[in-house]
Structure 1
Amino acid sequence: MTRLSVEMLAADAPEPITSAGHAQLGIAVLAGIAVIVLLITKFKLHAFLSLTIGSLALGAFAGAPLDKVITSFSAGLGSTVAGVGVLIALGAILGKMLADSGGADQIVDTILERAGGRTMPWAMVLIASVIGLPLFFEVGVVLLIPVVLMVAKRGNYSLMRIGIPALAGLSVMHGLVPPHPGPLVAIDAVDANLGVTLALGVLVAIPTVVIAGPLFSRYAARWVDVPAPEGMIPQRPSEDLEKRPGFGATLATILLPVVLMLAKALVDIVIDDPENSVQRVFDVVGSPLIALLAAVLVGIFTLGMPAGFSRERVSAVVEKSLAPIAGILLIVGAGGGFKQTLIDTGVGQMILDISEDWSIPALLLAWLIAVAIRLATGSATVATVSAAGLVAPLAADMSTAHTALLVLAIGAGSLFFSHVNDAGFWLVKEYFGLNVGQTIKTWSVMETIISVVAGALVLLLSLVI
C-alpha cells in the first residue's frame, strides 16, 4: 500500500471518537484484548460478555467518551448480525435437517461401502469435508466422531489413522470455507466477495486437508496408538436405516448453495457488467441468503420428505436448530461490536500507519494477529472476528482476489495450535479417550499444520494472483 493511498484513506475515514495518539491506542488495544483473554481463560466468562466488556475497556483506555463507545459497539453488533445472522441461522437449519433425516448417515455409509484399506483415510477426509460444509465444527464432531469410532472398531483400523483425516476435513471447512460463521464474519468485516473467497478457500483447503489429514495421520498413528473407546461407540437404531434420503439427493442439497455462489462469482468474472440481465439474475440466486434459503427449501423435499417428516416435524427441526446457535450469534455480534469500536477509536488507521512503516505484508500481519488471539482465547471465532476488525482497513486498497486472501489468512491464523483453553480440544480428547499429552501430539499438531500450510498457500497465491 502506497503512502498516497494511506493518506487518501485517512482523508475518507470518519473522525475518531478519541484524540489519543498511536502509543495510547496501542496500549488500549493490548488492554482490551488482555481483558477479553483474562475473562475467558481465568474467569471462564462467556465470550459474548467478555467481548462486550473488552470493547468498553478498549474505549476507556483510549480515552473515548463512554456513551460514544456504547454507540460504536451497538452499531457494530447490529450491522454484523444483520450481515451474517440470517446466514448462520439458515446454515444451522440445513445442518439439522441433514442430521435428523439420516442424510448425513447415508453419505457416510455410501462412501464407506466403496472404501477400504489404504483408501479409508481419504474416504474420511471426503466425508468430513462434504458433511462439514453446512455444519458448525462442534456439530460435525458430534456427528462424525461416532462414525470414526465405528469404522476404526469394525475395520480394525488405527483410531488416529481414521480420526485425524476426519477432524482435518471438519476444521479446514470451519476455518476457510463459507458459509461457516468465522469466514462469513471476516468477509463482512473486510467487504470481500463471498464467491471469490469461496473459490479461493476451496483451492487452499484441498492441499491443506490432504497434508494435515491423510499424510499427517500416518505419523499421528505412530505417536499415539490407542483403540477406539468402547463406551463411546454408538449403536444405531435399525429403524432409521429404512427411512433415509438417497445419496445423490443428499449430496446435491448440500452442494446447492456452494454451486450457486460459485456460479455467481464465475458470471461476475466472465460478464463483468452490472447492467447485464444474466449477471443480475445470478447476483440474486448466487447471493448467500438466496443460495442457503434455496438449499433449506429444497432440503425439506429431498431430505425431510423421504425421511417421512410431517409438516410438524419439519417445523420442529427448524425450531430445534436455532436454539443452539444463539450463543454463536451473540459471540459473532459482540465480535462485530469490538471491531467497530476498534475502527471508531482510530485503531484501524493506526494499523494502516504501522503496516506502512514496518513494510510487513498485510496477509502475514492478519495471520499473525489471528494466531495471537487464538492462542490467548482458544476460540477460532473470537480470533477471526477480532483480527478481521483490526486489519479491515488494510483491505480498502486491495483487489477483489487479495481481499478474499485476507479473509483466508485470518481464517488460517485462527486455527493455530488448539490447546487447553479451546472447547474443541476437550471434545476431541473425551471422544477419543486420550490424555492431554496425546491430544496435543495429535489434535493440536494437526491444527497447527492446517494453520501454517493454509497461511503459506495464501501467501503464495498472493504472489501469482
Structure 2
Amino acid sequence: MDSIFGLSHTATMLIWTLITIVILIVLISKYKWNPFVSLLISALMLGLLTGMNAEDVIGSITGGVGGTLGTIAIVIGLGTMLGKMMAESGGAERIATTLVNRFGQKRVHWAMMIVGFIVGIPVFFEVGVILLIPIVFTVARKTGLSIIKIGIPILAGLSTVHGLVPPHPAPMIAIDAFDANLGMTIFYSLLVGLPTAIIAGPVFGNIISKRVQVEPPAELAEQFSLKSERELPGFGITLLTILLPVILMLAGSVAIIVDPAVTNGLTHFLTFIGNEIVALLISVVFALFSLGFARGFNKSEISKFTSECLAPTASIILIIGGGGAFKQVLIDSGVGNAIAELATSININVILFAWLVAALIRVATGSATVAMTTAAGIVAPVLGMSPDVSVELVVLATGAGSLFLSHVNDAGFWMIKEFFNMSVSQTLKTWSVMECILSVVALILILLLSFVI
C-alpha cells in the first residue's frame, strides 16, 4: 500500500477506511443501493486500497459472511417462526388485553410499554409494530386516549428489546463479534432496558401526547374496529412461550456461574439447553404445540406459517452477512488494529466509543442492522486492547448507539408516520425524539453500570 501525502502507514489506512465508509454511506443513503451490495463493494474496496492481495480479500469476505451467519441466520430463522406462531394464535392480543385490564385506564400507557417489551422479544421490530398497531387503535377507541400516548410506550418497548435484548439479531451480532457472555448480556440488558423503556415510553409519551394531537387513519381505524372477536390463548401459556428462550439462556449462564469448572452433569445439561440455538429450537417446538396444535391449527396450517414467515428475513440475513464481510476485511487488513491504537492513544472510553461509532453509522445510513454490524468490526479490535472493560456492556452500548435518531432515511420512520397518520414534523417530534431518548438514556445507564461492574 502506497502512502498518501507522505503520511504514516497507519494514517494512510485510516484515511482509506474513512473514504470507504463515506462511499458506503453515500451508496445506501443517497443512491438507495441495496445495503448488501453496498457492503460487499465497500469490503472489496477497503481490502484492495489497504494493500491486501485480491485472493486474500475474497477469502476475508467469504469467511466474514460465513462466520457471521453461522449462528445469526439460525437465530433469525427460529426467532421469526416463534414470532409468527404468536401472531397467528392471537398471543400478542392476549397479553395486551390482559395487561390493559389489570392496569386500568389511567395506567394503560404503562401496560402498553410492558406489552411492547414482552411481545418484542421473539419478533423483529417491524413485525411487532404491525402486530400491535391494531391493539393501539382498539385501546385508544375504548379509552378515548390519544394514540400517541398509547403508541409511544409500545414503540419504546419494541425498540428497546430490538436494540439491546438477546436473542434479537442486533445484540447477537455484537455478542458474537466481541465474544461476550450471552446470559450476562441478557441480565444487563434487562437492567438497562426496562428503565430506559419507561423513560422513553410512558414518561415521554405522556408529555408529547399533550403537544402532538393526531387522529388514527380512518380506513385502518374502521378495519380494526370491525375485527371479529376470537378465542385467544391463555395469558400464562402465551407468556411462558415467549419468555422460554430467555429463561433457558439465563439458566445456562447461572449454571456456569455456580459451577464454573463444569464438573456437574446438571451444569452440562443447562449449558447445552442454554445455548441460543438450542434454546430457540426448544421454544419453537414448544410454540408449535402451545400456540399451534393446542389452538386448533392443523399440521398444514402450521407448516404454512413456519414456511411463509421466512421469506422476509432473507434481506436482513444478507445485510448482516455483508456487514460480517466488511468487519472481517477491517480486521484482516490491519485497519482494526490501527483504529485500536488510535482509540487507545487518545484514551477514549471504549463504551462511549462503541456508542458513538454505532450512532454515527445509524444516523448516516438509517439502518440499525448496518450500524450494528459495521460498528462491531470497528470496535472489536479496540475492545481487545481494553481488557478491563465489561464486554457485555460494550455490546449494549453498541446496540444503544444503533437506535439513535431514526429520521427520513430510515424505513421505520415512514412506517410509523403512516400508521399513526402524522406529518414528517410530528414524526420527528415523537418517534425520532423517542429513539434519541432511548439511545442516550441507555448509554447513561450503561456508563453508570460500568462503575460497579
| Aligned with 2:281 (options 265, 269, 293) | 293
| Aligned with 1:248 (options 236, 257, 263) | 236
Structure 2: how far apart are the matches of 1:240 and 1:308?
16
Q: Which amino acid aligns with 2:224?
A: Q
Q: Do structure 1's residue 341 and structure 2's residue 329 form an aligned pair?
A: yes
Q: Which amino acid aligns with 2:73?
A: G
Q: Do structure 1's residue 214 and structure 2's residue 202 form an aligned pair?
A: yes
The residue correspondences of 1:197-346 to structure 2 (distance < 5 A) are: 197-233=185-221, 234-235=223-224, 241-242=230-231, 244-346=232-334
Q: Which runs of 4+ in 1 moved over 4 A?
A: 236-240, 397-401
Q: Which amino acid aligns with 1:100?
A: E
How far off its partner does 1:418 sit?
0.5
Structure 2: how far apart are the matches of 1:348 and 1:332?
19
Could you say which residue in structure 1 is the equivalent of 2:130?
142
Could you say which residue in structure 2 is the equivalent of 1:372?
360
Structure 2: how far apart are the matches of 1:232 and 1:435?
17
Could you say which residue in structure 1 is the equivalent of 2:170?
182
Structure 1: how far apart are the matches of 2:229 and 2:22?
49
| Aligned with 2:28 (options 32, 40, 57) | 40
How far off its partner does 1:238 sit?
6.1
Q: Which runs of 5+ in 2 are unaligned?
A: 1-7
Could you say which residue in structure 2 is the equivalent of 1:395?
383
Q: Which TM-score applies when normalising by structure 2?
A: 0.95
Structure 2: how far apart are the matches of 1:50 and 1:308?
45
8 Å Cα contact 1:27-1:61 kept in structure 2: no
Structure 2: how far apart are the matches of 1:238 and 1:343?
53
Structure 1: how far apart are the matches of 2:211 and 2:41?
42
Structure 1: how far apart are the matches of 2:90 and 2:341?
53
Q: Secondary structure at the match of 1:454?
A: helix
| Aligned with 1:431 (options 407, 416, 419) | 419
Q: Which amino acid aligns with 2:277?
A: L
Structure 2: how far apart are the matches of 1:281 and 1:393?
33
The residue correspondences of 1:119-134 to structure 2 (distance < 5 A) are: 119-134=107-122
- Tell me whether 390-399 or 127-136 shows the greater mean CA deviation: 390-399
Q: Which amino acid aligns with 1:35?
A: I
Could you say which residue in structure 1 is the equivalent of 2:397?
409
How far off its partner does 1:178 sit?
0.8
8 Å Cα contact 2:354-2:398 kept in structure 1: yes
- Tell me whether 300-309 or 199-208 shows the greater mean CA deviation: 300-309
How far off its partner does 1:320 sit?
0.9
Q: Secondary structure at the match of 1:134?
A: coil
Give the % identical residues: 48
- Tell me whether 228-237 or 321-330 shows the greater mean CA deviation: 228-237
8 Å Cα contact 2:358-2:401 kept in structure 1: yes
How far off its partner does 1:120 sit?
0.6
8 Å Cα contact 1:35-1:57 kept in structure 2: no
Q: Deviations over 1:408-449 (max 9, x none)?
A: 000000011100000110010000010111000000000000
How far off its partner does 1:237 sit?
7.0
Q: Secondary structure at the match of 1:254?
A: helix
Q: Do structure 1's residue 196 and structure 2's residue 184 form an aligned pair?
A: yes
Structure 1: how far apart are the matches of 2:53 and 2:62?
14
8 Å Cα contact 2:137-2:224 kept in structure 1: no
8 Å Cα contact 2:138-2:225 kept in structure 1: no
| Aligned with 2:140 (options 152, 157, 182) | 152
How far off its partner does 1:239 sit?
5.9
Structure 2: how far apart are the matches of 1:452 and 1:105?
31
Could you say which residue in structure 2 is the equivalent of 1:351?
339
Q: Secondary structure at the match of 1:222?
A: coil
Q: Secondary structure at the match of 1:305?
A: helix
How far off its partner does 1:153 sit?
2.3
* Pair 451,221 (structure 1): closer, same or farther in 2 beyond 3 Å: same
Structure 2: how far apart are the matches of 1:400 and 1:287?
26
8 Å Cα contact 1:153-1:228 kept in structure 2: no
8 Å Cα contact 1:193-1:400 kept in structure 2: no
Could you say which residue in structure 2 is the equivalent of 1:13?
none
8 Å Cα contact 1:263-1:282 kept in structure 2: yes
Could you say which residue in structure 2 is the equivalent of 1:17?
none
How far off its partner does 1:218 sit?
1.9
- Tell me whether 21-30 or 376-385 shows the greater mean CA deviation: 21-30
How far off its partner does 1:398 sit?
5.7
How far off its partner does 1:401 sit?
7.6
8 Å Cα contact 1:273-1:279 kept in structure 2: no
